[in-house]
Amino acid sequence: MSIASKTVYGSGLVAALLIAGCTESAPDATTTAETPETAIEAPMPEATPSSSELLEAALDAQSEEMKARYAARNPAQTLEFFGIEPGMTVVEALPGGGWYSKILIPYLGESGKLIGVDYALDMWPKFGFFSDEQIEEKKTWTTTWVETANGWGDGANVEAFVFGDMGDVEKESADAVLMVRALHNLNRFEDDGAFRTQALQDAYDVLKPGGTLGIVQHRAPSDAPDDWANGENGYLKQAAVIAAVEAAGFELVDSTEINANPADQPTVDDFVWRLPPSLGTSRDNEELRAEMIAIGESDRMTLKFRKTDSAAGD
């Protein structure tokens, strides 16, 4: 500030200012800056939840009935083993009433996508016990399932197709395909329509290069007769599953025993639906029912495959 702009209180002050070069000195480095009366602090950014935290939240949000199955189905460990992450596009084979779908929709989140896939339409009559009306309803499954799944909560976008007809679903668009207890009937009717072959081809086609095929399947004893372990009784041999999937253009990446149950030792007189939750042979026999409940759910293989670079069947 110049001398001319100051109020002069006496000649002594004027002389002092002239000697100082008619300018104010810079503040001393030790001078403490004035602190505003009210300091405004910038808000701390919210921490982004980890994948594990998001999965835990999705699991915690489910019904008590669903949670009662966690000990046998191990959904957290299974999805983590397959490398499922929020934002992915995941295909779920045979979603049924949505046991896994209800977990996946919120977990994948709004940037993710869940694609349900059902049996081919011409496979349903081969079971022999579905009514004509039930089979007719399957013709609109891709629409009705999407409508139902959209009512299972906010999160991933939902689409659907049936094996043998991918419809509008883009090839090489999915990060993972999950076949959880879905392979036995496809294998059962393989010789009468190549349904397993078609399903694995669709899985290959919809996956991105390097994408994951995750399989959880009721496991037959390795020494069981092949004609018993063909899927009709719910069980398949692990070696046979690996061979079929590798023949479709996948490579086995890893396996885990997280869904194993050594107490399940079926014989040729057994089928998987004798066990919980079906208890199909013991509804009127309390003693047998208690025995089946004590065994628990089936022994299951859990296999992780990767789509190879070469086309399936090459």
Q: What residues pair up with 251 in beta bridges, in sequence order?
A: 306
Q: What is the pLDDT of residue 312?
A: 46
Q: What is the pLDDT of residue 313?
A: 45
Please count the other Cβ atoms lying within 10 Å of the Cβ belonging to residue 312.
17
DSSP string, 255-290: EE-TT--TT----TT--GGGSTTT-TT-TT-HHHHH
How does pLDDT run along the chain (314 residues), one tens digit per residue? 443 443 334 444 333 333 334 344 444 444 444 555 555 666 777 788 999 999 999 999 999 999 999 999 999 999 999 999 999 999 999 999 999 999 999 999 999 999 999 999 999 999 999 999 999 999 999 999 999 999 999 999 999 999 999 999 999 999 999 999 999 999 999 999 999 999 999 999 999 999 999 999 999 999 999 999 999 999 999 999 999 999 999 999 999 999 999 999 999 999 999 999 999 999 999 999 999 999 999 999 999 999 997 554 44
Count of H helices and E strands in the chain?
A: 12, 7
Q: Which helix (H) or strand (E) covers residue 179, if one does?
A: strand 174-180
d(CA 274, CA 279) in angstroms, rounded, equals: 5
Exposure of 130 in the CB half-sphere (CA atoms within 13 A): 14
Q: Among candidates 93, 116, 248, which has minimal Cα distance to 179?
A: 93
Please count the other Cβ atoms lying within 10 Å of the Cβ belonging to residue 152.
18
DSSP string, 113-164: EEEEEE--GGGGGGGS-S-HHHHHHGGGHHHHHHHHHTTS-SSSEEEEEETT
Q: What residues pair up with 304 in beta bridges, in sequence order?
A: 214, 254
Q: What is the pLDDT of residue 137?
A: 96
pLDDT digits (tens, 9 = 90+) for 152-190: 999 999 999 999 999 999 999 999 999 999 999 999 999
